[in-house]
Structure 1
């Protein structure tokens, strides 16, 4: 199994409708921009910043997950999400959500690690 990247998901804002979450995302983009990060994805509820020289060096900021029951603590992109899912099921891991195909072009599932952290495991389609 091949890991493509690991991205921490930092919880921010409240996900409310009054624009406060958009402001929080903008503030994070500005701050981390000073460290050299650039916005590579923004779905309104999650924004990912990446290094322009090392694109796999990323950090995400999330108000609330759009389709999952909880906010994952980190995302791990793998080459074959279904193979990883099958291996974790065989090992008796707790699958929290999915797998499912998402409209933003990934197939993913959530699994709880031994420390209780929720990991979003995904592959791009």
Structure 2
């Protein structure tokens, strides 16, 4: 698996309220997407970004980070082979990503994702 990007997922009670703070105070003014329950905002100057998540539309837990990879199927196979707990099965989601969640040995839930074009 080759990691191409890691994004912090901040669990918030209300995405719109959180977005107002993080875009206003931190200057994360480029909205990459907003699905209502999750939104990603990015700094136009540095590319720093933050994903705001109130819940997950299909998974039972909110991840702490999203790890973008170029081979999510291979990552899933490796995670299963290594015996990691799969929290959300490998799924092609309606909004265009293919992903799964696993629990790291420290308990952190990680969203491993491939953004399909």
TM-score (norm 1): 0.84
Give the distance between the partners of 2:74 and 2:51, measured in 1 at CA.
25
Give aligned pairs, total.
Answer: 114
Counterpart pick for 2:39 among 33, 40, 47: 47
Give 2:6's aligned residue: 6
CA-to-aligned-CA distance 1:53-92 (integer Å, 9 cap, x gap): 344x321111110000111111111011001111111111
Tell me the C-alpha RMSD between the 2 structures: 1.3
TM-score (norm 2): 0.89
Give 1:31's aligned residue: 21
Counterpart pick for 2:84 among 93, 116, 120: 93
C-alpha change, 1:54 and 1:80, in structure 2 (3 Å) is: farther
Q: Secondary structure at the match of 2:75?
A: helix
Q: Is structure 2 residue 61 aligned with structure 1 residue 70?
A: yes
